[in-house]
Structure 1
């Protein structure tokens, strides 16, 4: 199956519709699922990487997972703050064996694969060798609760734009696919900006694309919202070296967890990065149920398109509290 769409919601509509037509007769370790084996997805506009629906509008958890990667760590404590379900994927209650951060930036303890890709494409933009390996042969030697679903990330420049191809051995359509597309297209744009070029299309190739039966009703609920394709997209990343800004946000994130907002030292960042920092602050305030403070931080956000994600989460939190 080949799916070509311009937004994440267009993709999810197509994927859920097709998977719900199939029997839930594939039974791996995590329960019965429907499955499409061999699927290629193309997102024509990688900045349209966020769902704007009530069911799948997961800006906060997606952002948390992205900075987990960028922090070069596989610590469980970090990611469970944003996605509590990761607790089930830890072998030792301290780390996630298949965590992408060390594999991206410290593979085998010292290989920065992201930096290698950038250097390869600076020297030879048309190269076919700019590949990051996440799945490793040694991942099959011992049993682990979590090994990478992503096998490789490939980057190349065509017509002056950075194109990306992600290869997946397995992809949970409901829980994993939206987060993967968000994180990898953000990485695509970070690398494009590092090279001083625009982003091109994003391609996502999957061996087993599946929907677990336990998520069937949620997928049906998503489709029942009747979302129409929109022009919603994240703004362009600033045309400047992104790594200093990212490091400042990574440092600020540690303080944000402790509600030490005044110590984050991110006021001099470009508004693009300031907004992402504000979203991380709001995630902490949501966990603390400090809704008045949320409104104060919300006023700091430059791009009002993020307001819908904030309002939606506040509404959901308050609804849960009433019940």
Structure 2
């Protein structure tokens, strides 16, 4: 097993792997795939099939700024969106306008992670998973799949890159195994890791377990030929970044819904409800505000 202390170390390993060993493969043709610029081009792609890494400290989930510039505000907003019941596409698009490219004619994200992870409030796969683990902490059934049979027929523009998540309790710790159908190493991997490891930590908190290891598997790990110069620069990056502090007991799944309400307030008014946020979340909301734009395209 390729094991690393941090995501930064794992990321550097995977970048080197796909750069040195990646095979040149033809890109997809579908008019609903970002891999073809939605039918506009055939991107030259370099790919490694089925790599897996293990990250010992999932809190060490970010990259040094000099290695790969990441919009942290969007990364954190994406996590909150994924755990907001009944969330609309407009919520996450407020932090990253590119999300609009993946919506359907009604402006919806058909396969949005929010729908398939937290649900609409009446039904919630993630909450059902947590309840299952509370009944049987050693279950091997704590598993959520994100690709539905109808997706293969309908080919939505936001066909999920996330394949599945599984949670396992081992020796008082919660391990997480995430499988990606398709993983753009440069474009979205830093955001996916931040999201998935924060979901892992959220579930660990709900179960009163210590945070275990995180396993990340990719069906297709790839980069596009147009990204080669960026890939080369990452190979020479030696920056250091500290792990995030432990997530407090207050999470987006808390019954008081403080974080969900605070995100809505921030998005609609540009105001951070600091009095109701613990320091951990206050710092996250400050990052989110820096990425937020109003519905008129203006920064708050």
User: Under a length normalisation based on structure 1, what TM-score does the superposition of the two structures give?
Assistant: 0.80
2:112 is matched with which residue: 99, 117, 123? 99
Instruction: Detail structure 1 runs of 4+ shifted over 4 Å in the superposition.
Output: 285-290
1:212 is matched with which residue: 218, 224, 228? 224
Distance in structure 2 (CA, Å) of the matches to 1:121 and 1:201: 17
In the TM superposition, residue 245 of structure 1 has moved relative to its aligned partner by 8.1
Paired residue for 2:14?
Answer: 15
Distance in structure 1 (CA, Å) of the matches to 2:100 and 2:252: 31
What is the CA deviation profile of residues 59-99 of structure 1, one whole-angstrom value per residue up to 9, with x for unaligned ones? 11211211221123463322222222222212215111121
Query: 1:35/1:66 Cα in 2 relative to 1: closer, same or farther (>3 Å)?
Result: same
Distance in structure 2 (CA, Å) of the matches to 1:78 and 1:240: 21
- 1:44–1:202 CA contact under 8 A, matched in 2: yes
In the TM superposition, residue 240 of structure 1 has moved relative to its aligned partner by 5.4
In the TM superposition, residue 46 of structure 1 has moved relative to its aligned partner by 0.1
Query: Counterpart of 2:292 in 1: which secondary structure?
Result: helix
Paired residue for 1:190?
Answer: 202
Distance in structure 2 (CA, Å) of the matches to 1:217 and 1:72: 40
Distance in structure 1 (CA, Å) of the matches to 2:89 and 2:116: 15
Equivalent residues in 2 for 1:121-136, closer than 5 Å: 121-136=133-148
Query: 1:241/1:93 Cα in 2 relative to 1: closer, same or farther (>3 Å)?
Result: closer
In the TM superposition, residue 28 of structure 1 has moved relative to its aligned partner by 2.1
Tell whether 2:175 aligns with 1:163: yes
In the TM superposition, residue 289 of structure 1 has moved relative to its aligned partner by 6.1
1:257 is matched with which residue: 247, 253, 267? 267
- 2:93–2:100 CA contact under 8 A, matched in 1: yes
Distance in structure 2 (CA, Å) of the matches to 1:216 and 1:245: 46
Paired residue for 1:85?
Answer: 98
Paired residue for 1:28?
Answer: 28
User: Under a length normalisation based on structure 2, what TM-score does the superposition of the two structures give?
Assistant: 0.86
Equivalent residues in 2 for 1:268-307, closer than 5 Å: 268-284=276-292, 288=298
2:57 is matched with which residue: 45, 57, 60? 45
Paired residue for 1:140?
Answer: 152
In the TM superposition, residue 165 of structure 1 has moved relative to its aligned partner by 0.5
Q: How many residues align?
A: 284
Distance in structure 2 (CA, Å) of the matches to 1:72 and 1:189: 18
Structure having the higher helix fraction is 1
In the TM superposition, residue 155 of structure 1 has moved relative to its aligned partner by 0.5
Paired residue for 2:238?
Answer: 227
User: What is the RMSD computed on CA atoms of the aligned residues?
Assistant: 2.4
Q: Tell which has more relative contact order, 1 or 2 (C-alpha 8 A, sep 6+).
A: 2
Distance in structure 1 (CA, Å) of the matches to 2:251 and 2:91: 26
- 2:73–2:284 CA contact under 8 A, matched in 1: no
What is the CA deviation profile of residues 123-162 of structure 1, one whole-angstrom value per residue up to 9, with x for unaligned ones? 2111101111211112112132121111211001001000
What is the CA deviation profile of residues 12-67 of structure 1, one whole-angstrom value per residue up to 9, with x for unaligned ones? 21111121223433322322211111111211110001112232333112112112
In structure 1, list runs of 5 or more residues that go unmatched: 291-323
In the TM superposition, residue 285 of structure 1 has moved relative to its aligned partner by 7.8
- 1:74–1:100 CA contact under 8 A, matched in 2: no
- 1:74–1:97 CA contact under 8 A, matched in 2: no
Query: 1:52/1:246 Cα in 2 relative to 1: closer, same or farther (>3 Å)?
Result: farther
